[in-house]
Structures are given as C-alpha cells and as structure tokens.
Amino acid sequence: MFPGILFYKLFLWLYSAGAKILSLFNRKAKLWVNGRKHIFKQLRHAFAANTSPVAWFHCASLGEFEQGRPLIEKLKKDYPNYRILVTFFSPSGYEVRKNYNQADWVFYLPLDGRRHARKFLKITKPSIVFFIKYEFWHYYLQEIHRAETPLFLVSGLFRASQPFFKWYGGLNRKTLSYFTHFFVQKKSSEDLLHTIGIEHVTVTGDTRFDRVLATKNNWSAVDKIAAFCGNKRVFVAGSTWEADDLVIKHFAKVHPEMCFIIAPHEVEKDRIEECLKIYEHAVAYANYDPQDKQSGVNVLVIDNIGMLSRLYNYAYISYVGGAFGDDGIHNVLEPLVFGSPVVFGPAYEKFPEAVDLVERGIGFPVENALEFEQTMDWLLSDDALISRVKSAAGIYVQENIGATEKIFSSIEKYLTHA
C-alpha cells in the first residue's frame, strides 16, 4: 500500500468532519453537507428505470462546468441516445446549475472513498467519463479504471509545483495512471506529464473559448441594462468579492458621468447589501426602474445569477474579480470575447489565459486602488488603445477556438449511436 493512501484517507475523514462542524455556522458548508444527505437513495430513484448509455461529466465548481459545457452540449446534440449526468463537488457549481436543461441528472458527487465510489458506479453505470480540468479523486478514478470505462481529463492544466511531479507524489501519479487520455490546455502541461511517463496526452486548448464565442454569437440585449447605460461609458465588474469592490468604489464615486455595473460572485442577500453599502450611489437590479430617474445613481448591483456573460457586451472597460483573494481570478474569457480591456487584481499568474492577456496588452493587472485608478484613467484617455485591444482580443479568441472539436474527434471511437 502506498504510504500516501493513509494520509489520503485521513484527509477525507478530516474534510468530512470539518465540513460538518463548519456547516453549523457557514452557509456553503451547510449546503455541501445537506446536499449529500440521502444522496444514494436519490441516485437509485433517479437511475432506476434508465436503460440508455450514460455520459458522466464531473466538475469541481462553476468554472469547470463552463469548460465542460461545450463538450456536454455537442455530445447531447450528436449522440442524443446518451443521457447526461453532471456532478459537482462544490455548492457554487451545483446551486447555480442544478436545473441545467442539457443534463438529464445533476447531483453532488459523494465524498471520495472506495465504498462510495463502488456504490456510485454500480447505480449510475456510466459508459464514458469526463473529469474537467482537475479534482483527481483517487477511489473514483480507480474504480472507473477497474470497470474498464473510458476516462478522460478535459482542459487539464498542470504545474511543476503539483505533487504529481514531486518525490512524495507516488499516490498522485498512480491516480493519473487511471486515465484513458488527457486533453490539456498547454504544451507545458503535456511536457510535465511526459516527465512522469504519461504519453497519452493531446494539447487541445481551453474549451471555454468555444463557450464564450457561442455566447457572443447568441447574444441578446437586456433592456433594463441598456436603459441604465444610455449613451454613457460603461464599466462592468464581474464575479467581485469585497476586496474587489473596495478597490473600485472610489473611482465609481468620483466618476458620476460613467455607469458602473457590479456583478458580485455571490448574490445572497447579505452580499448584495454589502455592495450597496460600499458603493455610495447604487441600486440593486431588482429595484431598478428605468422610468424612475433616481438622482445620482450610477452603480447597478446585479442581484441575480446567469446574466453576467451578457453584460460584458455593454462594457467599455471590464473588470474580473477574484484576483485579490487566495483562489485567484475568475473567468477573463467572458469579457475578452466582446473586445473590452480586462482589468484584474494581482493573483492571476496560475491562470494561463490571464497571463496571455497581460502579455498581449489586453489584460491589465493592478496591485491596489491607486493603480486601479491610474490604469482606468489611462485607458479612458486613449481611444486608439481601446481599438487596438478590441482587435487583439478578436485575434486571440480566433487563435484558440476549436478545442471541443479536437476532443470530440478523439473520443468518438468510444461512443455508440445504439
């Protein structure tokens, strides 16, 4: 037995125990715990009458779901005989996408463990499995491999600092050996996998480029947003946390001639109220009436889910949150596809698409509120720069689309129309 397996079992026990304790006073932890209560009973009921082949897609959270979504929807369209199972580890993904209409079932993934993995697979009987980007649950992957079910990693991304590439990462490397094939975003990830003897790797790029381009091509106006913006220059900040809002707030206060649309990452009542306190001249989207010309209001706080990707088309300048926190930046590709400059905080270097944007002069990282204001003043004063950014963004997107087709052409031999 790998010594690492003992530590892994301990980690799983501690994670479960910690989540239960945290659930007593933390909303997300409570959702995580309650979402897994009676999960196997729910699964048995859902799958009892199924006789169709099942394609299982596992996503850690919402960001990974967006990477898997183009593949889900293509498989659903081209192979309608398959039924789609989507699982999430995090409430951030499940709560937003639990009613996703392209999936036949959406569930939380029961916490890893040999017994859980065997029971889950016995009930769901997947014919093909896709894990998106990361989350390498050892027992699930091991049992999928033992069942001889094709298993793929989609939009994988690896760094030399990860345990797979360290002397102590024996269990981690064993876990990777269970995959049938790896579809990775970057050549650097392929090279790293080669160093540990994994050769079944294809560089396909990031499937999110296909997703955001589809969003742009199917874009439709939001009447209330259009009314709020009028003919003013618009700043759209998506997926913000408190740290992001504190950076932006002064600039919004001293620029009443602009419109600011703030879409926080979480839209619970407390978070919306926090935003309304931070921004002095703000109104919540639900309370905004285009017929009521509220004096001085230049900040609109979005208090719903699912609208953000459409909002970026209104932006003269965009901002993506998360990069002032430990987890790093959220999705910079959503604003990029519409051609606006993208501003964000300093924690972006683990995200290759954000690094690419900086290198190409499309993305603009800032360290603090002062740098943010200086960057904004610079961008607002240079129309020619804005035009160059729009052109460069379009070129970058076109260079990177097509990952979904590349992946699909490789996996079709594992699919059947029967």
Catalytic residues: 64
- The 3-state DSSP class for residue 319 equals strand
CB-CB contact of 336 with 312 (8 Å): no
Q: How far is CA 331 from the centre of its chain?
A: 7
Provide CB contacts within 8 A for 336, sequence distance 6+.
212, 342, 353, 357, 362, 393, 396, 397
Long-range CB contact pairs, 144-152, < 8 A, 24+? 144/178, 145/178, 147/121, 149/121, 150/180, 150/411, 150/414, 151/178, 151/179, 151/180, 152/128, 152/179, 152/180, 152/181, 152/182, 152/183, 152/407, 152/411
Provide CB contacts within 8 A for 301, sequence distance 6+.
262, 263, 264, 272, 275, 276, 279, 282, 283, 284, 285
Cα–Cα dist 282/297, whole Å: 6
Look at the block and give the residue holding tokens 């990830």.
Answer: 189
For the beta carbon of residue 242, count every other beta carbon within 10 angstroms. 15
Look at the block and give the residue holding tokens 């620029």.
Answer: 255
Kind plus residue range of the DSSP H or E element containing 342 = strand 342-344
CA trace torsion 82, 88, 94, 98 (10° rounding): 10
Tokens of 405: 């087709």
Tokens of 191: 């090279």
Cα–Cα dist 202/152, whole Å: 11
